[in-house]
Amino acid sequence: MPASRRHHRTLAVLVNCLGIIAAVPALPLAAPRAAAAPPQAAAPAAAAEPAAQPAAPPGAPARATPIPTGMPAAPPAMPTTKAAPIQLSKPPVTVAVAAAGTPAPGYRIRVHNAGPTPVETTVRQELPAGSRATAVTGGGRANRPIGSATANEVTWRLRLPARSTTTLNTALSGASGGRSVTAPTCAYGTDGTRPYDCATATWTGPTVPAAKVTAAPAWRRPPVLLAALAALLVVTGGVLWWAWRRRRPGPARAATGTPPGPTRLAAGLPPTAGGAGGPADRGTVYPRAAMPAPAGRRRRPPIWLVVGVAAAVLAGVVGAAAWTATQRVAAMDTTKQPTSGAWVGNSVTGALGVPLRETAFEFTVYRLACGAGTLPATTAGGRQCLATVGVRNLTPGEQTWHGQLQRAYLPGGNWVATDESATRVANLGRDVFAQPVAAGSRVLLPLVFTVHGDDPPKQLELRSGVFSAGVRVDVR
């Protein structure tokens, strides 16, 4: 056998031996013993804990006991950590508000107790800024809460009999001014923080026929004025140019080629002053060629003409630019918010009691009150403001929201987020931000903001997600 083949066979044997040695530690040690056990006894023995085994009858063959490997037969089921969505249970007291068809703002409030027992409740109607109640029925009274962010309110303390409906009426003044007026109403429990139900209505005054808009006269329209100004500039420039051309002197007489001597006589012209016997007239049969006129200095247009035309052109350009800029500024819509960047949707701004919609939620702020007596407990770090907010999920799926995204803006421009611990206390220990809002459902929640200083918030900013443009509610 050649030496090269012997070397190859030796090398192949060494490689095979090394592979066998490397594979031996990976073989299961209990495989031979486990194979000896009966199949029906292997599974219970592997899953059960060590316990007393029944004694084998005499003479029976010994059964092999599998060695426990320390691994469970199946992983245990993990408990689900997803919180249940918030569901608004049917409140014992419901509120319905309708606008009255009166020349002045008026509302009809229906408070219904659907339970089998009497209920004590406090009904509050928020009035818009600048308005006052002129007529209140049902024993209510109009007051201005101390430290409240709203202008004033009308309050009723009622004891509703079982399965009864109470109707309340209010009339306002000094708030319409030819515009719509919204006054939300809520019914609270005995603690004054948890609302039973809230409703809102918007009063709209009688429609006034719109005046017929007539077109402005032609001489008052900007395009016509600009066209007339341009035509006037052109005509003025032409007239001034024509007048300047008329004032220029005619060509010199020497340049006209006037014939001298006998030629003048033959032409029927009088002789020159030197007479016919002058040296200029003797020996001349044909007329001489005209002498070229001396080159005169070219006259330039007067300075007043140049300045006048330049001023007129400049005035026309400035007027056209100013008119164009004015039209563009007038065409801008200041109510629209930018949507560039990561924001989704447009930011909407409204007043108390007006439903405002964003990408996922529809928010309605019914009331905002600050100061002592608002909550059962106050913090030493600031003053607490309680907002009654209605949240409706407009999407087909569950939606979560976060307390740090709900903000109250102060008059100085600073803002504070929701005080989540105080909000949990106001909601009877329930964390409303840890539970999603069910699809198509509406919840009514109190939110607490802790502010510093004496000034109440002037605006609330509410949003469903980090990238949502959200809504803004003016509360002052």
Give 194-228 pLDDT, tens digit per residue.
899 999 999 987 655 555 556 666 666 677 777 77
| Helices 303-330, 222-246: inter-axial angle, 10-degree rounding | 170
The DSSP letter of residue 22 is: H
Question: Tens digit of pLDDT for each residue in 341-386?
Answer: 557 778 899 999 999 999 899 999 999 988 765 565 555 567 899 9
The four Cα atoms 182, 127, 347, 424 give a dihedral, to 10 degrees, of -120
Question: Tens digit of pLDDT for each residue in 385-398?
Answer: 999 999 999 999 99
Q: For the chain, what percent of residues have pLDDT higher than 70?
A: 60
pLDDT at 269: 52
Nearest in space to 391 (alpha carbons), one of 148, 180, 87, 82: 87
pLDDT at 68: 47
Backbone phi and psi for residue 75, each to the nearest 5 degrees, phi listed first: -65, 140
- State the average pLDDT for the chain: 74
- Residue 312's pLDDT band (cuts 50, 70, 90): confident
Whole-angstrom distance, CA of residue 283 vs CA of residue 271 = 15
Distances (CA, A) of 401 to 81, 396, 474: 17, 16, 21
| Mean pLDDT value across residues 425-443 | 90
Question: Tens digit of pLDDT for each residue in 314-326?
Answer: 777 777 777 777 7
pLDDT at 220: 67
pLDDT at 271: 53
For the cut 50, the answer to whether the pLDDT of residue 300 exceeds it is: yes
pLDDT at 255: 46
Whole-angstrom distance, CA of residue 424 vs CA of residue 446 = 9
| Mean pLDDT value across residues 181-203 | 90
Are the beta carbons of 390 and 437 closer than 8 angstroms? no
Whole-angstrom distance, CA of residue 199 vs CA of residue 96 = 6
- Residue 139's pLDDT band (cuts 50, 70, 90): confident
Distances (CA, A) of 465 to 159, 285, 287, 442, 453: 41, 113, 106, 17, 29
Pair of tokens at residue 279: 């040296």
Question: Tens digit of pLDDT for each residue in 78-89?
Answer: 555 666 776 666
pLDDT at 392: 94
Distances (CA, A) of 180 to 135, 170, 204, 206: 19, 16, 5, 10
Whole-angstrom distance, CA of residue 149 vs CA of residue 127 = 11
pLDDT at 10: 75
pLDDT at 373: 56
pLDDT at 249: 58
pLDDT at 148: 52
pLDDT at 282: 52
Whole-angstrom distance, CA of residue 340 vs CA of residue 445 = 32
Nearest in space to 257 (alpha carbons), one of 231, 283, 230, 293: 293
pLDDT at 340: 44
Pair of tokens at residue 466: 């980090």
| Mean pLDDT value across residues 105-132 | 91
Judged by average pLDDT, the poorest of 61-65, 162-166, 234-238 is: 61-65
pLDDT at 48: 39
pLDDT at 253: 45
Question: Tens digit of pLDDT for each residue in 239-268?
Answer: 777 777 776 655 544 444 444 555 554 555
For the cut 90, the answer to whether the pLDDT of residue 173 exceeds it is: no
For the cut 50, the answer to whether the pLDDT of residue 108 exceeds it is: yes
Whole-angstrom distance, CA of residue 261 vs CA of residue 265 = 7
Whole-angstrom distance, CA of residue 66 vs CA of residue 261 = 157
- 270 vs 415, more confident: 415
Q: For the chain, what percent of residues have pLDDT higher than 90?
A: 29
pLDDT at 116: 92
- Residue 332's pLDDT band (cuts 50, 70, 90): low
pLDDT at 65: 45
Angle, alpha carbons 356-358-401 (nearest 5°): 105
| Mean pLDDT value across residues 172-192 | 83
- Residue 7's pLDDT band (cuts 50, 70, 90): low
Instruction: Name all domains of the chain by residue range, CATH numbers in brackets.
Output: 93-203 (2.60.40.290), 348-474 (2.60.40.1240)
Question: Tens digit of pLDDT for each residue in 11-51?
Answer: 777 767 777 776 655 554 444 444 444 444 444 434 334 44
Tell me if the pTM is above 0.75: no
